[in-house]
Amino acid sequence: MTSKCPKCDRIVSYLKYQGIEARPPIGTGPIYKAVNLVCPICSTILGATFDPIALNADLIKKLKA
């Protein structure tokens, strides 16, 4: 299945990711590691999600404690 970037209209066969933080709007809750999924051609953000590797590492660390 081929996908096109909605901004540059080029075919996207993979996505780049950029590490970011996910924070609550007021700043009173926890901060999580997350990633932006971006077009490799024009760098438009196409999606965002929590970083699964960081979440797994945090879970393992808490389980060992």
Say what the pLDDT of residue 20 is. Answer: 95
Type of residue at 59? L
pTM, 2 dp = 0.75
Say what the pLDDT of residue 50 is. Answer: 93
Say what the pLDDT of residue 13 is. Answer: 95
Say what the pLDDT of residue 2 is. Answer: 79
Residue range of the domain that includes 27: 3-64
Of 50, 40, 45, 46, which is closest to residue 20 (Cα–Cα)?
50
Are the CB atoms for 31 and 21 separated by under 8 Å?
yes
Say what the pLDDT of residue 28 is. Answer: 82
Q: Count of domains in the chain?
A: 1
Mean pLDDT by 10 residues, the chain (65 residues): 92 95 86 94 96 89 87
**52 CB contacts (<8 Å, ≥6 apart)?**
none
